[in-house]
Amino acid sequence: MMEKINSLSAYFKEYENSIEDPENFWSEIAKTFQWQKTWDNTFSWNFNGPDVKWFENAKLNITENIFERNLHTHSEKTAIIWEPNDPNEKSIHISYKELFEKTCQFSNALEANGIKKGDRIIIYMPMIPEAAIAMLASARIGAVHSVVFAGFSSSALADRINDCQAKMVLTSDGNYRGAKNIEVKAVVDEALEKTNTVGKVIVCKRTGSKVQMKTGRDLWWHDVIKNQSLQHKAASLDSEDLLFILYTSGSTGKPKGVVHTTAGYMVYAQYSFLNVFQYEHDDIYWCTADIGWITGHSYIIYGPLLTGATTIMFEGVPTYPHPGRFWEIVDKYKVNQFYTAPTAIRALQAKGLEPILPYKLDSLKVIGSVGEPINEEAWHWYHDNIGKGNCPLVDTWWQTETGGIMISPLAGITPNKPAHASLPLPGVQPVILDAEGNELKGNNVEGNLCIKFPWPSMIRTTYGDHKRCKDTYFSTYPGTYFTGDGVKRDHDGYLRILGRVDDVMNVSGHRLGTAEVENAINEHSGVIESAVVGYPHEIKGQGIYAYVICSINDQAESDLIKEIIATVSKIIGPIAKPDKVQIVSGLPKTRSGKIMRRILRKVASKDFSNLGDTSTLLNPDVVEEIIEGANI
Ligand code: PRX
């Protein structure tokens, strides 16, 4: 059994061990897992490749570590509590034994439908238990899942299917989200018109919406599992075999497929879950993320299930049918650990204290935050009103690429400091670099956050384009992994994440590239050029501000803006819709033609001080025009 760190001195000792002898440190942790064959070498690495391998030449299956490893101790324990969107619908409790059987059954169904080890499967499903079963069955047979958030548009879905050459799509008829019933299958149908690799689509019935089933391609979930055995022998995978691909936005081009492999991801998912949340055997744990994001992968599914935890999967949204919905669920299941995003906290904070009053919230032991910097006001509101002033708040910093939590307090162990992710987990070696790549040692320094040593769950490559992985993460500061975030180490040595230093926005905890949104805007036939920046937004953290040059002038500006917003929604999805659009006659550019985003960011943030010397611009007049017409 994996031991938890149980005191601050034990944390410092474990941290020191992990730096002094990482081989021994990680191999001791890895020994608590079930291996079909153990490793020859704990890890090897070269950040110039990059070429990183963990637990080399070992054989395993992550689902054996969720099921077979633990069944003798908790087969009847609830693995997943599923809470529906509509509180009047019945919730579902699935024990480890049942989840194991359903995983095996669906593994057999996938194989019966031609899926083999290494094949890519797209999961485009709502937050229903079948989505978890789909991920686990994919892992069990050695296929590679790529979950696509079910709010992405058909064209975003098609891009992902094409990029990973997926053979199968798993989906549902519809998706209940708040008051909406989204026609999920119809989105898949549209996406598949632009792809040619998908042979089969398996559709899970959720809403009963009428769907078109294409003969020979589309099958019902309930039909494919009929007559399939509840037993399945797990595939034997190499440590470095792909477990999943998850697409995420960067500062250039289309989203890239972040690749995670089997053994390292598994070891780190459980280690980080257990220690950050200090999970105890009978605790009820709830992470409100969607499985379409890395948080859902590592801290709804893999981390908790590897630990033998009871994990809640919530289908709905925080404010439906009322703004106390989260707190109702916390009381209903006596949730002990609650993990959500600052954007949800701020949205609920804006509703005032009244929605919280009917609830006790006295089961909570730990509250957590993830996805974006949490401002001090939201931190205190969350700590005081939800944690009642006596729950440790874990502000967890990490990324799709890191696979697991990297910098965070350990609940109840690391002293809390508002808005500080605080200290690295054992095994994680962050460094702060200045623009030239010099390490800023000591306290009271601010710079670019990099990691100088490998950790088990780190990104291995970007699918199908290894050079892109190198260029994005390992070239800015050679020899280190560059996170894209700014960070400050304060006078106590605690780390505070300052947000992205590249052209990536963080909107309601969703990561979006400015270039990605610009490309979508430019799809509108009346658009000549656009520039997108993030600006501070009270609820979303960052909002999207688009400056657009149009060729059309015979249409009302408000209609044009509506169309531009609708175009972005169609190309990417509603999460990428610009909050503000300003039609401009030009964009401030340097003499070499580069857009001066700094100026655009300042205007969007209502900060007109210190715009810098604009006289060297190609078109200084446009700055005046932009300021005058600013939509702020
Ligand atoms: O900017 C950081 C921010 O979210 C980015 C990673 O986004 P994504 O890959 O979508 O993963 C989100 C969930 C892990 C980071 O580069 N971020 C994440 N957590 C925090 C954060 N910023 C500040 N504080 C955090 N706790």
> From the CB of 292, is ligand 1 less than 6 Å away?
no
> From the CB of 59, is ligand 1 less than 6 Å away?
no
CA of 4 to the centre of ligand 1 (A): 25
Q: Which of 395, 397, 542 to mutate to test the pocket of ligand 1 (most atoms within 8 A of CB)?
A: 397
| pLDDT, tens only, 185-244 | 999 999 999 999 999 999 999 999 999 999 999 999 999 999 999 999 999 999 999 999
Residue with the nearest Cα to atom 13 of ligand 1? 371
What integer pLDDT is reported at residue 72 of this predicted model?
86
Locus of tokens 């993030």: 534
> From the CB of 294, is ligand 1 less than 6 Å away?
yes
Long-range contacts, 517-523 (Cβ 8 Å, 24+):
517/544, 517/546, 517/568, 517/572, 517/576, 517/578, 518/546, 519/571, 520/567, 520/568, 520/571, 520/572, 520/576, 521/546, 521/548, 521/564, 521/567, 521/568, 521/578, 523/567, 523/571
CA of 586 to the centre of ligand 1 (A): 33
| pLDDT, tens only, 542-601 | 999 999 999 977 788 899 999 999 999 999 999 999 999 999 999 999 888 889 999 999
What integer pLDDT is reported at residue 1 of this predicted model?
87
Residue with the nearest Cα to atom 25 of ligand 1? 397
Which are the contacts of 553, defined by CB distance < 8 A and separation ≥ 6?
none
Q: Which atom of ligand 1 is nearest to the CA of 497?
A: 23
Q: Which atom of ligand 1 is nearest to the CA of 396?
A: 26
> From the CB of 485, is ligand 1 less than 6 Å away?
yes
| pLDDT, tens only, 400-434 | 999 999 999 999 999 999 999 999 999 999 999 99
pLDDT averaged over every residue in the chain: 96
Q: Which of 497, 501, 505 to mutate to test the pocket of ligand 1 (most atoms within 8 A of CB)?
A: 497
CA of 499 to the centre of ligand 1 (A): 8
Round to whole Å and give the CA distance between 607 and 483: 27
Residue 73 C-alpha from the chain's centroid: 31
Tokens of 484: 């894209």
> From the CB of 395, is ligand 1 less than 6 Å away?
yes
Per cent of the chain over pLDDT 70 is 100
H-run or E-run covering 296: helix 294-296
Query: Which one, of 463, 570, 568, lies nearest residue 516 by Cα?
Result: 568
CA of 511 to the centre of ligand 1 (A): 8
Q: Is the pLDDT of residue 615 over 90?
A: no
Cβ-contact 449, 430 below 8 angstroms:
yes
> From the CB of 249, is ligand 1 less than 6 Å away?
no
| pLDDT, tens only, 67-81 | 999 888 899 999 999
Residue with the nearest Cα to atom 22 of ligand 1? 372
Q: Is the pLDDT of residue 612 over 80?
A: no
Query: Which one, of 234, 348, 246, lies nearest residue 296 by Cα?
Result: 246
CA of 453 to the centre of ligand 1 (A): 20
Mean pLDDT of 269-296: 98
The DSSP code for 374 is P
CA of 379 to the centre of ligand 1 (A): 16
Provide the 10 A C-beta neighbour count for residue 324: 20
Mean pLDDT of 60-89: 96
**Residue 252's pLDDT band (boundaries 50, 70, 90)?**
confident
| pLDDT, tens only, 351-398 | 999 999 999 999 999 999 999 999 999 999 999 999 999 999 999 999
Q: Is the pLDDT of residue 160 over 90?
A: yes
Cβ-contact 536, 602 below 8 angstroms:
no
> From the CB of 371, is ligand 1 less than 6 Å away?
yes
Residue 81 C-alpha from the chain's centroid: 21
Residue with the nearest Cα to atom 7 of ligand 1? 399
Round to whole Å and give the CA distance between 431 and 564: 41
Q: Which atom of ligand 1 is nearest to the CA of 499?
A: 1
Which are the contacts of 522, defined by CB distance < 8 A and separation ≥ 6?
529, 530
Q: Which atom of ligand 1 is nearest to the CA of 401?
A: 9
| pLDDT, tens only, 493-538 | 999 999 999 999 999 999 999 999 999 999 999 999 999 999 999 9
Q: Which of 287, 506, 516 to mutate to test the pocket of ligand 1 (most atoms within 8 A of CB)?
A: 506
Round to whole Å and give the CA distance between 84 and 348: 20
> From the CB of 421, is ligand 1 less than 6 Å away?
yes
